[in-house]
């Protein structure tokens, strides 16, 4: 009886202690979700911003925080918008609001939706088109018309009378796309609207994609079908034909189309188009290998001329809307890493480079705004683990740091940078949202997540501790470690390593976050993450050293990290596992196979198993073409090392993954079976690369359970 009482007492103590901890259900239910201030948009005067509150778009004053006006309230239009709206855009004169409803996703960024126009002057709400289902709508500069894409053609509607004009007529699924990107541009160049209004509203420049030669991939869809239904789309794998892309200009008054000469080469990329403030058309051009980038300007309808040219023996970092920023007076900013780090430069279209705005052994990570003679940017100056806001004059002088705390900042500026809102966190501080004036002075706090901080303390949630170690090649690598709240250095703990490791990525960052691996920590595991060679914010050479041999050095560094960790007195060297998703899944497989004597367990989610299976733009920029670099594609494919498996392995994939196809997992499974190796596999029917619509939480619960059972 005495022993029974003691057991009950101990059980009560454990239960009481456990109640102060947490499990995945707490994360799933949102108890550890950071609050934020989202959907905030600066208005034209730079003194006000709009934000969505309970189905209404409300105007606030930056300076005072006063709630000044309701711009639109969906409650008064429930008959037209029974489910409200998901997005909104104001016209340049802010008279009209473009509202999005009934959104239906296609791929990562693309979707169709129904759109409505609210006229603030008349108080009327009208549907953009009777049919709905538009893509990428955009106001004309004067707000009187809206251009959009439907069924791969470019259209325009005049808002005063609702007249609909079809600007192109050859759009056809899986063949011709006008004004919208194809799959691989959307995924890798990160944009979908492939048309731009001229500043005077008289012309629309747009890209035309001819997908005729691009090979097709078919995904089988199972939900609610007696027989699986095929979904076929154009997907250019490494080395396969891409779309042929042309640049056209439409005169919206006459409907006349003219083709812009983008050069004799058709196997190239046009990853951005736009207009300068003076109304001249420009476009980016890069070759298929992506080691030669050009900016071309079309002046007064003349033949395009190159005004900026950049080359690299390996690759030019993937270009985006921040690569070039046009200013007034034939000047433009360029963000490049020709110095060995990512920095900002001022150019003139005729005279070339004028000034170097930033310099040093650190990287500019984001160009935030240009206002007057000052440029505002975020960089990792001081520490690769942190991000702060700086400003500098266009001549490279008078640099100022505008944020003070040590951690990670992101910035939402007002027009003209009269004010800015900062979003800050570090390993100890969840999202802190504040309003600043242009000098950086804090005017007020918008969200401090005080309740979340209290809950984190109550539940004794451990935080990241940073460390560094040197690999076998003399490279110093950054990492973080999360130890159990009741950590005892005299004991030995199992370790789960988490990583992504892809080119230019960064996981080791002084930023607050929580996910399923934090549950492992409170269950007595140490979680470790290391950014190896190839990752970002360590300079161009550190990042580009993996070129042409994807997976080799990255795997060496994760194995080296595991070996280093195993030497720590409080680590159980026989119980080290590794996890990764997408590129990280590719890495987890390579580590459990090439590091079979180091890792006891691995979890690979949506892994690439051969770069021959992945898309052209991403793969070829980092690995060259398979026709030129067969060894770089095959020597690091985990498929070829299946016979080395010793530990426990779980592979997870969604059959609806349009990005990393489930083919990757099936080919890996086939290789393991042929090698006589036992492994575990979880297939999520119809889920995409992010394991939605159904598996988002189920997969994390499964990974926790698998780790507890096998590591």
Contact 602, 587 (CB under 8 A): no
Contact 277, 200 (CB under 8 A): no
The span from the CA of 711 to the CA of 709, in Å, is 6
Render 140-176 in DSSP notation, one character per residue. -TTSSEEEEEETTEEEEEETTTTEEEE-----BTTTE
Beta bridge partners of 347: 332, 353
Buried b or exposed e, range 317-344, using 16+ CB within 10 angstroms: bbbeebbbbbbeebbbbbbbbeeebbbb
| Domains of the chain, each with CATH number or no CATH | 463-710 (3.40.50.1820)
Contact 333, 370 (CB under 8 A): yes
- Output the CA angle 162-168-173, nearest 5 degrees: 110
The confidence score (pLDDT) of residue 301 equals 81
The confidence score (pLDDT) of residue 20 equals 47
Render 305-348 in DSSP notation, one character per residue. EEEEEEE-SS-PPPP-TTTEEE-SSSEEEEEE-TTSS-EEEEEE
User: Which of 78-87, 431-440, 532-541 is the least confident region?
Assistant: 78-87
Q: How confident is the model at residue 13 (pLDDT cuts 50, 70, 90)?
A: very low
Q: What number is the average pLDDT over the span 135-148?
A: 98
The span from the CA of 575 to the CA of 589, in Å, is 17
The span from the CA of 58 to the CA of 52, in Å, is 6
The confidence score (pLDDT) of residue 300 equals 86
Catalytic option among 114, 518, 657, 658: 657
The confidence score (pLDDT) of residue 553 equals 98
The confidence score (pLDDT) of residue 4 equals 39
The confidence score (pLDDT) of residue 469 equals 97
Catalytic option among 48, 248, 343, 689: 689
In this model, does residue 302 exceed pLDDT 90?
Answer: no
The span from the CA of 622 to the CA of 502, in Å, is 10
Q: What number is the average pLDDT over the span 680-701?
A: 97
Residue with tokens 């194809």: 182
The confidence score (pLDDT) of residue 8 equals 38
The confidence score (pLDDT) of residue 9 equals 37
Q: pLDDT by residue (tens digit) across 204-233?
A: 999 999 999 999 999 999 988 899 999 999
Q: Is 3 exposed, middle or buried (0-12, 13-18, 19+ CB in 10 A)?
A: exposed
Reference 626, options 612, 640, 638; nearest CA is: 612
Q: What number is the average pLDDT over the span 525-544?
A: 98
Reference 107, options 689, 704, 703, 699; nearest CA is: 689
Q: Is 157 exposed, middle or buried (0-12, 13-18, 19+ CB in 10 A)?
A: buried
> For the chain, what percent of residues have pLDDT higher than 70?
97
Q: How confident is the model at residue 44 (pLDDT cuts 50, 70, 90)?
A: very high
The span from the CA of 669 to the CA of 664, in Å, is 9
- Please give the C-alpha separations between residue 453 and each of 475, 538, 622, in angstroms, as whole numbers: 36, 32, 41
In this model, does residue 3 exceed pLDDT 50?
Answer: no
Instruction: Write the DSSP symbol of residue 449.
Output: -
The span from the CA of 84 to the CA of 75, in Å, is 8
Contact 659, 108 (CB under 8 A): yes
In this model, does residue 115 exceed pLDDT 50?
Answer: yes
Active site residue 582: yes
User: Which of 172-176, 301-305, 337-341, 479-483 is the least confident region?
Assistant: 301-305
Strands 48-53 and 145-150: unpaired
In this model, does residue 12 exceed pLDDT 90?
Answer: no
The span from the CA of 476 to the CA of 481, in Å, is 16
What backbone phi and psi angles, to 5 degrees, belong to 458? -60, -45
**What SS3 string covers 65-115?**
CCEEEEEEEHHHHCCCCCCCCCEEEECCCCCEEEEEEEEEECCCCCEEEEE
Active site residue 689: yes
The confidence score (pLDDT) of residue 11 equals 40
Report the mean per-residue pLDDT for the chain: 95
- Please give the C-alpha separations between residue 372 and each of 274, 328, 364, 412, 571, in angstroms, as whole numbers: 22, 10, 20, 18, 55
The confidence score (pLDDT) of residue 38 equals 81
Q: What number is the average pLDDT over the span 629-636?
A: 96
The confidence score (pLDDT) of residue 329 equals 87
Catalytic option among 42, 91, 582, 616: 582
Reference 514, options 600, 439, 437, 425; nearest CA is: 425
The span from the CA of 510 to the CA of 567, in Å, is 25
User: Which of 145-149, 457-461, 583-587, 672-676 is the least confident region?
Assistant: 457-461
Q: pLDDT by residue (tens digit) across 325-339?
A: 999 889 999 999 999
Q: What number is the average pLDDT over the span 251-271?
A: 96
Q: pLDDT by residue (tens digit) across 580-595?
A: 999 999 999 999 999 9
In this model, does residue 10 exceed pLDDT 80?
Answer: no
Contact 310, 338 (CB under 8 A): yes
Active site residue 687: no
Q: Is the peptide bond before 693 cis (omega within 30 degrees of 0)?
A: yes
The confidence score (pLDDT) of residue 39 equals 81
The confidence score (pLDDT) of residue 367 equals 98
The confidence score (pLDDT) of residue 114 equals 97
In this model, does residue 5 exceed pLDDT 60?
Answer: no
């Amino acid at each position: 009886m005495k022993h029974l009482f003691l057991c009950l007492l101990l059980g009560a103590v454990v239960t009481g202690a456990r109640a102060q901890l947490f499990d995945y259900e707490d994360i799933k239910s949102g108890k550890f979700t950071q609050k934020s201030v989202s959907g905030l948009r600066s208005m034209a005067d730079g003194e006000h911003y709009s934000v969505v509150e309970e189905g209404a778009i409300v105007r606030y004053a930056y300076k005072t925080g006063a709630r000044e006006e309701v711009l639109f309230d969906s409650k008064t239009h429930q008959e037209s918008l029974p489910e409200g709206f998901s997005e909104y855009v104001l016209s340049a004169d802010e008279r009209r609001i473009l509202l999005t409803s009934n959104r239906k996703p296609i791929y990562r960024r693309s979707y169709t939706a129904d759109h409505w126009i609210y006229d603030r002057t008349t108080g009327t709400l009208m549907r953009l088109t009777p049919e709905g289902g538009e893509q990428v709508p955009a106001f004309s500069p004067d707000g009187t018309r809206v251009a959009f894409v439907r069924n791969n053609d470019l259209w325009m509607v005049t808002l005063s009378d609702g007249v609909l004009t079809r600007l192109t007529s050859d759009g056809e699924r899986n063949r011709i796309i006008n004004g919208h990107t194809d799959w691989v541009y959307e995924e890798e160049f990160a944009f979908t609207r492939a048309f731009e209004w001229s500043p005077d509203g008289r012309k629309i420049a747009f890209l035309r994609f001819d997908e005729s030669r691009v090979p097709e991939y078919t995904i089988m869809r199972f939900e609610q079908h007696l027989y699986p239904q095929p979904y076929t789309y154009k997907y250019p794998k490494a080395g396969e034909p891409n779309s042929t892309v042309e640049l056209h200009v439409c005169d919206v008054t006459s409907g006349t189309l003219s083709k812009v000469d983008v050069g004799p080469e058709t196997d190239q990329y046009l990853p951005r188009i736009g207009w300068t403030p003076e109304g001249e058309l420009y476009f980016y051009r890069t070759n298929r290998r992506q080691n030669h980038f050009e900016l071309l300007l079309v002046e007064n309808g003349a033949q395009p001329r190159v005004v900026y040219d950049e080359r690299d023996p390996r690759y030019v970092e993937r270009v985006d809307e921040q690569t070039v920023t046009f200013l007034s007076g034939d000047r433009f900013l360029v963000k490049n890493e020709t110095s060995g780090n990512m920095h900002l430069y001022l150019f003139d279209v005729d005279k070339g480079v004028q000034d170097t705005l930033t310099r040093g052994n650190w990287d500019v990570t984001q160009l935030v705004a240009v206002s007057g003679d000052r440029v505002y940017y975020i960089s990792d100056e001081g520490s690769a683990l942190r991000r702060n806001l700086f400003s500098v004059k266009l001549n490279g002088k008078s640099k100022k740091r505008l944020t003070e705390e040590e951690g990670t900042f992101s910035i939402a500026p007002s027009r003209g940078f009269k004010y800015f809102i900062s979003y800050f966190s570090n390993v100890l501080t969840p999202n802190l949202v504040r309003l600043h004036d242009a000098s950086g002075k804090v005017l007020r706090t918008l969200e401090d997540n005080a309740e979340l901080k209290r809950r984190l303390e109550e539940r004794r949630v451990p935080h990241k501790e940073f460390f560094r170690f040197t690999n076998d090649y003399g490279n110093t690598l950054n990492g973080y470690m999360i130890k159990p709240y009741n950590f005892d250095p005299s004991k030995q703990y199992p370790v789960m390593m988490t990583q992504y490791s892809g080119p230019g990525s960064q996981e080791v960052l002084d930023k607050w976050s929580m996910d399923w691996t934090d549950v492992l920590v409170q269950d007595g595991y140490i979680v470790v993450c290391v950014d190896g060679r190839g990752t970002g914010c360590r300079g161009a050479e550190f990042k580009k050293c993996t070129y042409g041999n994807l997976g080799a050095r990255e795997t060496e560094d994760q194995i080296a990290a595991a070996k280093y960790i195993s030497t720590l007195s409080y680590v159980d060297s026989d119980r080290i596992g590794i996890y990764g998703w997408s590129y990280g899944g590719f890495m987890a497989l390579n580590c459990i196979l090439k590091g079979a004597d180091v890792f006891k367990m691995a979890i690979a989610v949506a892994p690439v198993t051969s770069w021959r299976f992945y898309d052209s733009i991403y793969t070829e920029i980092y690995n060259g073409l398979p026709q030129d670099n067969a060894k770089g594609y095959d020597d690091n494919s985990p498929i070829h090392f299946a016979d080395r498996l010793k530990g426990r392995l779980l592979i997870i994939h969604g059959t609806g993954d349009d990005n990393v196809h489930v083919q990757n997992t099936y080919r890996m499974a086939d290789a393991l079976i042929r090698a006589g190796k036992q492994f575990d596999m979880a297939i999520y029917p119809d889920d995409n690369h992010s394991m939605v619509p159904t598996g988002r939480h189920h997969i994390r619960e499964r990974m926790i359970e698998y780790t507890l059972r096998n590591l």
